Amino acid sequence: MALTGLVIIFITFFAGALIVQKLPTRADHHQLAESQKVPFLGGSSPNTHAWQRYHIRYYSMTLLFIAFEMEMMFMYPWAVVYVTEGVKALAEMGMFLAILTVGILYGWREGIFRWQ
Partner 1 sequence: MYAALAGSGVAIVPFSSASVLADLEVGIVWWGAVEALTVVVVFLHGWSANAQFGLIGAYRYVAIGLPVMLISMFMLIAAALPAESLALPQIVESQRGLWNVIRQPLGLPLFLLLGLSLSFRGPFNYADSADIAGGTAAEVSGAPRLVWEFARLAMLTAVAAMAASVFLGGYLGPWLPGPAWLVLKTATLLLVLVCLTEQLARISPSRMMTLIWTTLLPLSFLHLVWAGVLAL
Partner 2 sequence: MAVTILGRLAARAPVPVFVAMGRDGAPAIEHLLKSGDIDFTATPRHANILLVAGRTRESDQPYLDRLHDQMPHPRATFWWGDAHSDDIDEARRSASADDPVAPLRALYRKLIGGSYASETHRLSDEPPAPWRGRGDHGQGGEGMMGGVPYGRMMPMPPTPDIRDGLALDVYRTQVGPFMPYWPAGLILEVTFQGDVIQSAEVVQPPYPPRDIDREPFDRLLHEQTPLAQIERTRATHHLACIARVLSLVELPTLSRRAQIVAARIRANETVAIGPLRKAAARAGLMAAIKPGLGRIDDDLACELGGPVRRAAGHVLDSRNDDPTYTRLGFTPVTQKQSDCQARVAQWFDEAEQALALASAAPHILIAQGQLAEPPWALRAPPLDYRVTELLPGLEWSEALLVLNSFDSAALCRMAPLETP
In the complex, the residues that contact partner 1 under the rule CB under 8 A are 1-3, 5-6, 9-10, 12-14, 16-18, 20-25, 39-42, 46, 49-52, 54, 56-58, 61-62, 64-65, 68-69, 72, 75-76, 79-84, 86-87, 89-90, 93-94, 97, 101, 104, 107-108, 113-115
- Least distance to partner 1, CB of residue 30, Å: 11
47: DSSP letter:
S
Pick the closer one to partner 2 by CB: 33 or 98: 33
What does the alpha-carbon distance between residue 79 and residue 92 come to, in Å, rounded to a whole number?
12
101 forms part of the interface with partner 2 (CB under 8 A): no
By a kind-dependent CB cut-off of 5 to 8 A, residue 24 interacts, out of partner 2, partner 1, none, with: partner 1
Q: Which residues contact 97 (CB under 8 A, 6 or more apart)?
A: 71
42 forms part of the interface with partner 2 (CB under 8 A): yes
Query: Is the CB of residue 46 less than 8 Å from the CB of residue 39?
Result: yes
- Binding flags for partner 2, 56-85, as an x/- string (CB under 8 A): xx----------------------------
Distance separating the N- and C-terminal Cα atoms of the chain? 48
What does the alpha-carbon distance between residue 41 and residue 3 come to, in Å, rounded to a whole number?
45
What does the alpha-carbon distance between residue 27 and residue 70 come to, in Å, rounded to a whole number?
49
